[in-house]
A and B are shown apart, each in its own frame.
Chain A
Amino acid sequence: MIPYAGRRHLAPVAGAPALEVRRLTAAYSRNLALRDVSLVVPAGARIALVGANGAGKSTLLKAVSGLQPVPREQVRVYGNPVGACHHRVAYLAQRGEIDWRYPVTVESLVMTGRYVHVGWFRRPGRTDREAVRDALERTGISSLAKRQIGRLSGGQQQRALLARALAQEADLLLLDEPFNALDSVSRSVLDEVLTELQRLGKTLVIATHDLETTGRSFDDVVCLLNGRRVPFSGRPQAAPSRHGMGGATHP
């Protein structure tokens, strides 16, 4: 196989945490989105990333998934720098980042989760098709496999994206507001799948602006306020002002 990133996938470093962020500062067109954020997520943990909209949750997830360029030393995934282990990281973006009118079926969308294993010039094989079928079943959308992706409800679309993350067989899953505007069926499917993933030893980082709707308990809660990590005080705090001077202080 010829991997997309141009280098061989590296094996995890023994004993390394699933995710380690060291004093990360990231800017989005002049605005500092993250300031000096550090965190360690042990393998197999389920972490909530909370904070108001604009607190830097998405930027942090994007930095970890390689969408936002960051210095190599500051973000490590299973001990490797970002980009050395694309196959091991799945990123569930918010639904708005996909062109849902594009003429692909649900099945093909889920198959794109296998591409990182297939690489250049090859076509997906039997293992890939089995992984897709399995992922569709676990998310309860097998009957929609041949449907064009725009003809799904919002909850079904979210489940299709979850199925893709499953098909990728990633070890670290980053989910950006996965429970946003979900119907109750999709919500319980998502909850079930996440619990099963954790049982399988996968690491989950779930960004949410509303911890209560996310249900289930977490091993840890990482709280962001205006791009800084602040101690979690029991419930997510609202940012005082998105355009303010970032007057957050550590309590």
Chain B
Amino acid sequence: MIEWLVAPFRYGFMLTALAAAVLVGISCAAIGVHVVLRRMAFSGEALAHSVLPGLVVAYLTGASLSFGAMIAGVTAALGIGWLTARERLREDTAIGIIFTAMFALGVLLASSAGSYRDLSHMLFGNLLGVTVQSLWLIAGMTAVVLLALVLLHKEFALTSFDATHAAVIGLPAAGLRYVLLLLIAGAVIIGVQAVGVVLVTALLVTPAAAASLLTDKLPRMMPIACAIAVATAVSGLYASYYANVVSGPAVVLACAFLFLLAWLYVVVAGKRTHSPGEPETY
């Protein structure tokens, strides 16, 4: 049994992949709690998709992929912040149009270069190909995301559930939204290396959504989401090693499976503390 558990990590690249998957999982899950609670899943998805042209251009020009992803991610975060500032359905539509267009542009550029193998790594991630150098970037970004979440915790929470009070006490809600979008972009940029542009939304949304089923207290929700992310990162890697399947989708499927378990536990077994809909009266 122990032999079975340690065998995959006799390989250096598997250890790097494990560290990357755990760090990416933690930063995506932690910021993902805000994504879920503020109903920003669509913005997260748009952010992830619009990173693709940045990756492709960096690849074609021989620049660092992380650098390309970062430029594209920051641009997309600022663009989404601008488009959603008025919080109307039309801006939502605008996001849908612009960021699918950017995604299409990325695919087009990659296909004209004729490199579908590398394109598939960008789309679905290449966890086993993470270099030690990009692991450092992943670790640094995780530290930045977690530090910002700790420092701005009370402000992010308050602007999420009571924008009126936040404004009355002078909190710059718009600025905080941009900071949050940039942090999501940071998590997405490193998440793309693990599970790719298409699947990174799953890391943002699924562990946080599962955690939101299991507790109605924010201070517990983040650690639970992170624990779920770590568990899925590890089990996804085992699956990819022993069943010889692609690592990124394996991690995402493990996430979805844990969400299903949480949902069954809460809804079917009736363990939920309350229904999320109408407030109960006493």
Contacts and interface: CB of A to CB of B under 8 A. Distances in A.
A103 B38 CA distance: 11
A14 B54 CA distance: 59
B161 A98 contact: yes
A150 B279 contact: yes
Given A101-B276, A151-B274, A151-B280, A3 B170 contact: yes
Nearest to A123: B154
Interface string A1-24: 001111000000000000000000
Interface residues of B, number: 31
A97 B155 CA distance: 17
Interface residues of A, number: 41
Contacts of B167: 66-67
Interface string B149-193: 001001101101111110111111000000000000000000000
Nearest to B212: A103
Contacts of A108: 157, 218
A99 B166 CA distance: 13
Given A151-B280, A153-B281, A112 B274 contact: no
Given A115-B154, A150-B274, A65 B162 contact: no
Given A103-B37, A153-B282, A86 B158 contact: no
Contact of A121 (B151, B165, B273): B151
Contact of B217 (A89, A101, A109, A148): A148
B158 A67 contact: no
A5 B169 CA distance: 8
Name the residue among B157, B163, B165, B218 with the largest chain A CB count within 10 angstroms: B165
Contact of B279 (A93, A118, A152): A152
Contacts of A99: 160-162
B170 to A, nearest CB: 3
Nearest to B218: A103
Nearest to B280: A151
A51 interface: no
B37 A102 contact: yes
Nearest to A174: B168
Contacts of B221: 103
B75 interface: no
B170 A103 contact: no
A218 interface: no
Contacts of A4: 169-172
B84 interface: no
Given A67-B167, A115-B154, A104 B279 contact: no
Contacts of B161: 98-99, 102, 104
Interface string A81-125: 001001101110100011111111100110010011010110100
Nearest to A7: B170
B235 interface: no
B215 interface: yes
A54 interface: no
B216 interface: yes
A44 interface: no
Interface of B: 37, 151, 154-155, 157-158, 160-165, 167-172, 212, 215-218, 221, 273-274, 276, 279-282
27 contacts: A5-B170, A66-B167, A66-B168, A86-B169, A90-B168, A99-B160, A99-B162, A102-B218, A103-B212, A103-B215, A103-B216, A104-B157, A105-B217, A109-B162, A112-B158, A112-B162, A112-B165, A115-B154, A116-B169, A116-B170, A150-B276, A150-B279, A151-B279, A153-B281, A153-B282, A156-B282, A164-B165
Question: Which 10 pairs between the two chains have the least Cβ-Cβ distance?
Answer: A5-B170, A102-B161, A116-B169, A153-B281, A4-B170, A148-B216, A99-B161, A150-B279, A86-B170, A97-B164
Interface of A: 3-6, 65-67, 83, 86-87, 89-91, 93, 97-105, 108-109, 112, 115-116, 118, 120-121, 123, 148, 150-154, 156-157, 164
